């Protein structure tokens, strides 16, 4: 367990002996050009460390999804400041660099984005096919093993279109985690689920992340799941509300 320290110079918590896997410094982001240019994020300072589960909350339109997609290399950084993910500075990064970064990140979205014409196993296997070091492995067996870990061992060869909403989200979690990413980014993963299914999904994410020692950043409006977080950060009008959000309260 690593305890953070307080910096009187910045008024923030720091973990000086740890290197954050996600680090934003004075991050600003804009949409549009010319007179239509609009600022979405303002002076974001945030450090996230290995093994943390961070929940990001805030009103609709506050910039949560924008920040999440920037951190995932899914959107080009437009504006000043620094955004470093797994040692890669994203401002000025090439498409090749971003593609390499994305191989180390798992994505889970409200719309699970599964290919409904394929089976659960085929959807999960597709994630492995993006990684050369898995190509010599028995990817079908690995996919089945991961689906069993998320409670779908009896649905491995079911067409995704025949699964329930909670089961589809479990397939999406299996797909995101099977390649053992260092970071998992989740955007409203429980929004379309009932209370129990939503709870099951986030507890499953929590369990597998702890086992794999990956970092989870989860955007949600669901107050029922806030207790799984090591730390909660809040965005309002594109600004980080909590001034101590740049380092963890505690890392397990």
pLDDT digits (tens, 9 = 90+) for 118-140: 999 999 999 888 877 787 789 99
Give the CB-side neighbour count of residue 191, counting CA atoms within 13 A: 13
For residue 19, the 8-state DSSP code is: -
Residue 249 has pLDDT above 80, yes or no: no
Domain assignment present for residue 14? The answer is no
Are 185 and 71 within 8 A, CB to CB?
Answer: yes
Q: What digits encode the pLDDT tens for the residues 161-207? A: 999 988 898 899 889 888 889 999 999 888 877 888 788 888 888 88
Residue 252 has pLDDT above 90, yes or no: no
Domain assignment present for residue 46? The answer is no
Chain position carrying tokens 């973990």: 15
- The pLDDT assigned to 17 comes to 54
Domain assignment present for residue 40? The answer is no
Phi, psi dihedrals of residue 84, rounded to the nearest 5°: -115, 120
Of 12-16, 33-37, 175-179, which gets the smallest average pLDDT?
A: 12-16
Provide the CATH number for the domain around residue 213: 3.40.50.300
Distance CA 174, CA 192 (A): 18
Domain assignment present for residue 153? The answer is yes
User: Which residues sit opposite 107 in a β-bridge?
Assistant: 185
Domain assignment present for residue 12? The answer is no
Residue 167 belongs to domain spanning: 51-75+94-240
Q: Record the tokens describing residue 126, joined without a space.
A: 């597709």
What does pTM read for this prediction? 0.83
Q: Record the tokens describing residue 174, joined without a space.
A: 């299996």
Domain assignment present for residue 20? The answer is no
Distance CA 189, CA 111 (A): 8
- The pLDDT assigned to 15 comes to 54
Domain assignment present for residue 143? The answer is yes
Calculate the alpha carbon distances from 32 to 73, 81, 82, 83 in Å.
Answer: 19, 18, 20, 20
Rounded to the nearest integer, the mean pLDDT of the chain is 85
Residue 110 has pLDDT above 70, yes or no: yes
Please choose, from the candidates 137, 147, 154, the residue with its C-alpha nearest in 3D space to the C-alpha of residue 173: 147
Number of domains in the chain: 1
**pLDDT interval class at 142 (50, 70, 90):** very high
Domain assignment present for residue 85? The answer is no
């Amino acid at each position: 367990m690593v305890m953070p320290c307080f910096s009187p110079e910045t008024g923030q918590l720091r973990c000086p002996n740890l290197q954050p896997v996600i680090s934003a410094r004075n991050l600003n982001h804009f949409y549009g050009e010319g007179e239509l240019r609009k600022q979405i994020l303002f002076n974001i300072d945030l450090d996230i460390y290995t093994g943390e589960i961070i929940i990001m909350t805030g009103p609709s339109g506050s910039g949560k999804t924008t920040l999440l997609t920037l951190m995932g290399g899914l959107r080009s950084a437009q504006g000043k400041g620094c955004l470093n993910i797994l040692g890669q500075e994203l401002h000025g990064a090439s498409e090749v660099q971003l593609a390499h970064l994305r191989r180390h990140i798992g994505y889970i979205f409200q719309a699970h984005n599964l290919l409904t014409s394929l089976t659960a196993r085929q959807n999960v296997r597709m994630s492995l096919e993006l990684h050369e070091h898995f190509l010599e492995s028995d990817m079908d067996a690995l996919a089945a093993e991961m689906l069993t870990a998320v409670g779908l061992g009896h649905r491995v060869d079911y067409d995704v279109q025949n699964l329930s909403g909670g089961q589809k989200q479990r397939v999406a979690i299996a797909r995101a985690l099977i390649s053992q990413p260092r970071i998992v980014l989740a955007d409203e993963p429980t929004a379309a689920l009932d209370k129990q299914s939503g709870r099951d999904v986030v507890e499953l994410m929590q369990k597998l992340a702890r086992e794999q020692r990956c970092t989870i950043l989860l955007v949600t409006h669901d107050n029922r799941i806030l207790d799984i977080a090591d730390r909660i950060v809040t965005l309002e009008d594109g600004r980080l509300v909590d001034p101590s959000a740049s380092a963890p309260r505690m890392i397990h």
